[in-house]
A and B are shown apart, each in its own frame.
Chain A
Amino acid sequence: MFSVVFEQYNYAVVIILMMTGLYVVFASRNLIKKLVGLSIFQTSVFLLYITIGKVAGGQPPIIVDSHGGDHASLEPVLVAAAGGKDAAGYAGASDVLYSNPLPHVLILTAIVVGVATLAIGLSLVVRIREVYGTIEEDGINALDYRYNLEGTED
């Protein structure tokens, strides 16, 4: 049983990070810590994509023709590169562990998205600190509760 975990330790790392991040988001009451958890959660997804970007016996998808040409002849190359269902059966397959560039590119995009989310989140926390004077969720809830009852701020 343990050998499965050790052979595919990359997935274990992904799962541990994913669960840690998600737990921190839900369990902590501090707004900054929640964002830390969210970042860890998102990072685990980056690792997941990088992991699946490794294709045993793949080949670089170099297209010789200019685009708009006959793509059909290139189909096996592209499928092999993407690690699709036919990858193993492709005649030109080598025994190298090849990195498919597509997941890496996807993750570049996802990293940018993650940075933007974190930036917005942190700036919201700054504004919350300015207005409420606290970044603890319980404190904010208490202030809002009092506001609902009395209709006044502070």
Chain B
Amino acid sequence: MDILSLFPAWLLEQGPAFVIVLPLLMGAITAILPSRTSAWWVSLIVTLLCTVTAFGLLLQVYSEGTSVYTMGGWDPPHGISLVIDALSAPVLFLIAAMAVVTIIYAMPATIAEIEPKKRAPFYAAFLLCFAGLMGMVVTGDAFNVFVFLEVSSISTYALVAMGAARDRRALAAAYNYLILGSIGATFFVIGLGFMFMETGTLNMADMSNILADLDGGSRVAKVGFGFIIIGLGLKLAMFPLHTWLPGAYAYAPTKVTVFLASTATKAALYLLFRFTFTVFDPSFDYVMIVLKYLLIGVGVVGMIFASLQAIFQTDARRILAYSSVAQVGYMLLGLGLATAAGIAAGYLHLLNHAIIKGGLFLAMGAFWYRFGITRVDDFNGLSKTMPWTMGAFMISGLSLIGVPFTAGFVSKVNLTVAAADKGWWWAVAVIVVTSVLAIIYIGRILLAAYFGSPPQIDGEVAERNEAPLMMLVPMWALALLSIAIGSNVFGLGDDFVMASERAAALLLGSGG
């Protein structure tokens, strides 16, 4: 491939370590930088470099296949390995690209939301969180996953709490997130303890081989699997373990919400894909039971309940937060189908939803930035006062609903077809019903914005007050990307579908 040859060989060779070490080191340095402008530049350059590297690794996977990087030259299973394959590379690129989008947007948003002396530490925490997420995705060592999970989580608690300057409820939300997040991580590490007891290894590939030899392993492995699923379920906001999410998304600083909504739960979902299909295997009966009854059950119930809850929220950011919980249900449904088409659709929805929700929360942040509003009642006439921002919001909103020619449509149709192929018509019905519910909750916001009249401030009608360019560009980039995927402009739609099919093929190919 031509583009691949543009990347220097050392970058591709050292890339898996580079994308973790660079933000980790620069995060520490950013914390002591004197001015916030330099901290912003450092963050931007770091995330851009990581995105370029992740893109190179993605192309490399598609042309040369899976690559394994051994830390310090110690071969697995005794050393720690970093694995770049068709499952991890797209998520890695997604996280890096969303970090760049967030950082660009953070420049104006930070000035409004975070007091001057906390701005450099903010970027430091952001880079640490970013490093943790990248680490979670590339690592091939199960205990390493726990460490990176906690690196990203602990910095996320701090990031969410920084919303306190705007709304004090951010503190209570961050505290709740900390308690539930720590319980989730601890459950995960208990599960790993049992897996270590059963297999005597922590390397995922090795663990998978030993489990296959043991034909799924004894009761210890089953218990370990249960703990791992619940731990990851808390992290990815699987219904009914999602209670930390609405508060954290609604009261965190706006750009933190953008980043969390589009990457943090996605990285945890990636781990769920990884653990259920490559470390464990659906051919073990206990894994199949969990997929078929637990994940599909909570997925479907979550889709319906969270969508209903979204309809009754007054705060627009909470609407989107509950909608995120509902969308996780779609991904769990795809995963639980355990067919190539189902997994591909779930994985595609994971990628698409990150783009859609990122776009929506970016617009939501811009509304707050200009007018200080988050309640749906205050959105009246926003199409006249902020037409461009509202336009981007509408496109992403339609994509969330699943209107044709948008990204959301592609993944929902694929998921529907996958469910129908398996003969699960009730699942098709649930997908359609929850899409109708999405029309209601997104429609409420759009109705107020497009058909309400702008509010009167001191007798004067509010004037047009568009968001700054640095907010509009990321927002429109994501909105247009969503259309490009849905309408297959430049073959982007096909690329995304291809990426998800390759990921599904990888998951079903190993050990199955």
- A residues within 8 Å of B by Cβ? 18, 22, 25, 31, 34-35, 38, 41-42, 45, 48-49, 52, 67-68, 71, 78-79, 82-85, 87, 102-103, 106, 109-110, 113, 116-117, 120-121, 124-125, 127-128, 131-132, 140, 144, 147, 153
Cβ of B200 under 8 Å from chain A: yes
Within 8 A of A (CB), among B174-194: 174-175, 178-179, 182-183, 185-186, 189-190, 193
Inter-chain contacts of B424 with A (CB < 8 A): none
Complex Cα–Cα for A102 and B199 (A): 14
Cβ of B330 under 8 Å from chain A: no
Are A84 and B200 in contact, CB atoms less than 8 angstroms apart?
Answer: yes
Within 8 A of A (CB), among B91-143: 143
Are A127 and B164 in contact, CB atoms less than 8 angstroms apart?
Answer: yes
Within 8 A of A (CB), among B135-177: 143, 146-147, 150, 154, 157-158, 161, 164, 168-169, 171-172, 174-175
**Looking at chain B's contact residues, is the secondary structure mostly helix, strand, loop, or mixed?**
helix
Inter-chain contacts of A120 with B (CB < 8 A): 154, 157-158, 178
Give the shortest distance, in Å, between A83 (CB) and chain B (any CB).
Answer: 5
Complex Cα–Cα for A137 and B182 (A): 18
Are B189 and A45 in contact, CB atoms less than 8 angstroms apart?
Answer: yes
Are A45 and B150 in contact, CB atoms less than 8 angstroms apart?
Answer: no
Are B175 and A31 in contact, CB atoms less than 8 angstroms apart?
Answer: yes
A117 and B150 contact, Cβ closer than 8 Å, known pairs A38-B182, A52-B196: yes
Complex Cα–Cα for A22 and B154 (A): 20
Within 8 A of A (CB), among B22-50: none
Complex Cα–Cα for A149 and B190 (A): 42
Cβ of B74 under 8 Å from chain A: yes
Are A25 and B158 in contact, CB atoms less than 8 angstroms apart?
Answer: no
Are B189 and A110 in contact, CB atoms less than 8 angstroms apart?
Answer: yes
Are A68 and B174 in contact, CB atoms less than 8 angstroms apart?
Answer: no
Complex Cα–Cα for A116 and B128 (A): 14
Within 8 A of A (CB), among B229-272: none
A42 and B182 contact, Cβ closer than 8 Å, known pairs A68-B73, A127-B161, A132-B168: yes
Are B193 and A49 in contact, CB atoms less than 8 angstroms apart?
Answer: yes
Cβ of B78 under 8 Å from chain A: yes
Are A131 and B157 in contact, CB atoms less than 8 angstroms apart?
Answer: no
A22 and B200 contact, Cβ closer than 8 Å, known pairs A120-B157, A144-B169: no
Give the shortest distance, in Å, between A70 (CB) and chain B (any CB).
Answer: 11
Complex Cα–Cα for A147 and B207 (A): 51
CB closest residue in chain A, given B185 = A113
Give the shortest distance, in Å, between A100 (CB) and chain B (any CB).
Answer: 9
Complex Cα–Cα for A17 and B140 (A): 31
**Looking at chain A's contact residues, is the secondary structure mostly helix, strand, loop, or mixed?**
helix
- B residues within 8 Å of A by Cβ? 72-75, 78, 143, 146-147, 150, 154, 157-158, 161, 164, 168-169, 171-172, 174-175, 178-179, 182-183, 185-186, 189-190, 193, 196-197, 199-202, 210, 213-214
CB closest residue in chain B, given A137 = B172
Inter-chain contacts of A124 with B (CB < 8 A): 157, 161, 171, 174-175, 178
Are A125 and B143 in contact, CB atoms less than 8 angstroms apart?
Answer: no
Are B193 and A45 in contact, CB atoms less than 8 angstroms apart?
Answer: yes
A-B contact pairs, 27 of them (CB 8 A): A35-B179, A45-B189, A48-B190, A52-B193, A52-B197, A67-B74, A68-B73, A79-B200, A82-B200, A85-B210, A103-B196, A109-B143, A110-B189, A113-B154, A120-B158, A120-B178, A121-B182, A124-B171, A124-B174, A125-B175, A127-B161, A128-B171, A131-B164, A131-B168, A132-B172, A144-B172, A147-B169
Are A116 and B154 in contact, CB atoms less than 8 angstroms apart?
Answer: yes
CB closest residue in chain B, given A53 = B196
Give the shortest distance, in Å, between B212 (CB) and chain A (any CB).
Answer: 12
Complex Cα–Cα for A132 and B169 (A): 10
Are A85 and B157 in contact, CB atoms less than 8 angstroms apart?
Answer: no
New A-B contacts (20) at CB < 8 Å, excluding given A116-B154, A131-B168:
A35-B179, A38-B179, A48-B190, A48-B193, A52-B196, A67-B72, A78-B78, A84-B201, A106-B143, A113-B150, A113-B185, A116-B150, A117-B178, A120-B178, A121-B179, A121-B182, A124-B174, A124-B175, A128-B175, A132-B168
Closest 3 A/B residue pairs (Cβ): A84-B200, A82-B200, A113-B150
Give the shortest distance, in Å, between A108 (CB) and chain B (any CB).
Answer: 11
Complex Cα–Cα for A82 and B207 (A): 13
Are B161 and A41 in contact, CB atoms less than 8 angstroms apart?
Answer: no
Complex Cα–Cα for A74 and B210 (A): 18
Selected contact of B171 from candidates A82, A83, A84, A131, CB within 8 Å: A131
Complex Cα–Cα for A49 and B143 (A): 12
A22 and B171 contact, Cβ closer than 8 Å, known pairs A52-B193, A78-B78, A79-B200: no
Give the shortest distance, in Å, between A5 (CB) and chain B (any CB).
Answer: 18
Inter-chain contacts of A113 with B (CB < 8 A): 146-147, 150, 154, 185
Complex Cα–Cα for A131 and B185 (A): 29
Inter-chain contacts of B150 with A (CB < 8 A): 113, 116-117
Are B74 and A121 in contact, CB atoms less than 8 angstroms apart?
Answer: no
Complex Cα–Cα for A82 and B77 (A): 11
Complex Cα–Cα for A68 and B75 (A): 8
CB closest residue in chain B, given A87 = B200
Complex Cα–Cα for A147 and B74 (A): 57
Are B78 and A117 in contact, CB atoms less than 8 angstroms apart?
Answer: no
Are A84 and B74 in contact, CB atoms less than 8 angstroms apart?
Answer: no
CB closest residue in chain A, given B375 = A151
Inter-chain contacts of A128 with B (CB < 8 A): 171-172, 175
Inter-chain contacts of A103 with B (CB < 8 A): 196
